[in-house]
Chains A and B, each alone.
Chain A
Amino acid sequence: MANTEPVEDWCTDYDIFDPGYIRDPFPIWDQLRGECPIAHSDRWSGSWLPTRYSDIHAIAHDPGTFSSDEITVAPLEGGPADGVKAPPITSDPPEHTWARRLILPAFAPRAVEAYRDYTVALCGELIDGFIDRGRADAASEYAQQIPPRVIAHLLGVPPEMSDEFTEWVRGVLELGLTDPEIRMKYRAILMDFLWAQVNDRKANPRDDLITRLLQSEVDGEPVPDTHVVGTCNLILIAGIDTTWSSIGAALWHLAQHPEDRARLVAEPELIPVAVEELLRAYSPVTMARVVTTDTEVGGCPMKQGDRVLMSFPAANRDPEVFPDADKVIIDRARNRHVAFGVGIHRCAGSNLARMEMQIALESWLERIPDFRLADPDSVTWAGGQVRGPRECEVVFT
């Protein structure tokens, strides 16, 4: 099946890069949940697409049957030739267990508090840059600017690098998903950069995360350099367009919902609850798994080697679990969403992402309490692995 033909039957031939699906996947998931509920497609190397919360929850809790060896939604033929992966997100137990313990301390709730002041100052400066203009692109001038700088700060590399980070990450994870040449080009740039950083820290140890990773030991042995490069690759790639997509989607929603804005302006203490609801409704991330042994999910037979797309965004719209799942209820109190995944691969950076989202919305609403989309039709979305707005011009009112 060619990747470019229009989709006629979403149950048997879905296309995660279909422009309509990227812009508005919600009715398609509702249809699949009712009719399939696990869809299949031969496009983009072939995959299954479960859409029910219960199926996705069950798969995520069975890493023995559903491996994380290949997590991209549209994998490269043969995988990366340089042998560098992105542990622990690409690991299964037992490697996963120690690889995850290595990075968790840097992202625990207390640890991410250390980046709060930096993030507050950063959001303030970004708003200073456009507030007098009376309009801004909430995606490219704000949301997209925050995570790369926080991650640069955390990794201990110059903040001036953040625009390049953004370009590389989009090259690997967005534009490169459907274009292997672009993906390999940016992957090579990223690898050269990370190897240079690692070699620099080996010669000149500093008080930063890369140095700490290099100095870590597993079973009395130093962690291999390839592993450190892979983990830095993960932190850089996973921490950037995911979080900016969430911040951008939240502002896109608020631009169209004055009642939600008014509520959050009047009750800023509600922002953490609102962030969870916006994460649920506009979850950005879909991951993949590989079936290790013939199995069955919800009556659907899967064969060894099959790939499964873990659409956490679809799970979070399942009306079986979330009453009025298609509505944003800004103070939704019971919200067991899985935007950061669930099970052993729960996003290691979730505490950092939440902190960034909360500060980004607090800072924006404090100074720009009223705003609307300049033109709803001009908003553009990226999707596939990570869904979020890429251009989202708003006017301050």
Chain B
Amino acid sequence: MKMIINTELCQGHNRCYALAPDLVEIDDLGYASHKGDGTVPPGREEAAQLAADNCPEEAITIIAD
């Protein structure tokens, strides 16, 4: 599974960072991007899905394997 954040759409709500801090990088302005290539480690699929489902900008896409 991959969790991909569209940085063009991100407005820095930080909902994803609160729900899946290990999968999200936050810059100095508070905008988010996915860590690495977005690969979700085993056991973190639910956190990634929640991050996507709570983003008010719908900026997060989950790509299933």
Contacts and interface: CB of A to CB of B under 8 A. Distances in A.
Contact of B14 (A101, A336, A351): A351
Contacts of A335: 54
A333 B50 contact: yes
Given A334-B50, A342-B56, 15 more contacts: A105-B30, A108-B12, A108-B26, A108-B28, A109-B26, A276-B15, A333-B53, A336-B53, A336-B55, A337-B56, A340-B13, A342-B11, A343-B57, A350-B13, A354-B18
A250 to B, nearest CB: 17
A272 B28 contact: no
Contact of B29 (A101, A333, A336, A354): A101
A342 B57 contact: yes
A109 B19 CA distance: 13
What's the interface size class on A, roughly?
Answer: 20 to 34
Interface of A: 101, 104-105, 107-110, 272, 276, 333-338, 340, 342-344, 346, 350-351, 354
22 contacts: A101-B29, A104-B29, A105-B28, A108-B26, A108-B29, A109-B30, A110-B26, A276-B54, A333-B50, A334-B50, A334-B53, A334-B54, A336-B54, A336-B56, A336-B58, A342-B57, A343-B57, A346-B12, A346-B13, A350-B14, A351-B30, A354-B18
Contacts of A336: 53-56, 58
A272 B29 contact: no
B29 to A, nearest CB: 4
Given A101-B29, A336-B55, A109 B17 contact: yes
Contacts of B11: 342-344, 346
Nearest to B21: A109
Contacts of B28: 104-105, 108
Contacts of B50: 333-334
Interface residues of B, number: 19
Contacts of B27: 108
Contacts of B29: 101, 104-105, 108
Interface in B21-65: 26-30, 50, 53-58
Interface of B: 11-15, 17-18, 26-30, 50, 53-58
B15 to A, nearest CB: 8
B3 to A, nearest CB: 16
Given A346-B12, A350-B13, A107 B30 contact: yes
| B contact face: mostly helix, strand, loop, or mixed | loop
Nearest to B10: A346
Nearest to B15: A276
Nearest to A335: B54
Contacts of B18: 272, 354
Contacts of A344: 11
B31 to A, nearest CB: 8
Contacts of A338: 56
A330 B47 CA distance: 18
The list of the 8 closest CB pairs from A to B, nearest first, reads A108-B30, A104-B29, A346-B11, A334-B53, A342-B56, A336-B56, A105-B28, A338-B56
A274 to B, nearest CB: 13
Nearest to B13: A346
Contacts of A346: 11-13, 56
B30 A104 contact: yes
A163 to B, nearest CB: 30
Contacts of A337: 56
A202 B15 CA distance: 37
Contacts of A333: 50, 53
Nearest to A100: B29
Contacts of B54: 276, 334-336
A127 to B, nearest CB: 25
B34 to A, nearest CB: 16
A387 to B, nearest CB: 20
Contacts of B56: 336-338, 342, 346
Nearest to A333: B50
Most buried by A among B30, B55, B58: B30
Contacts of A343: 11, 57
Contact of A109 (B14, B55, B57, B58): B14
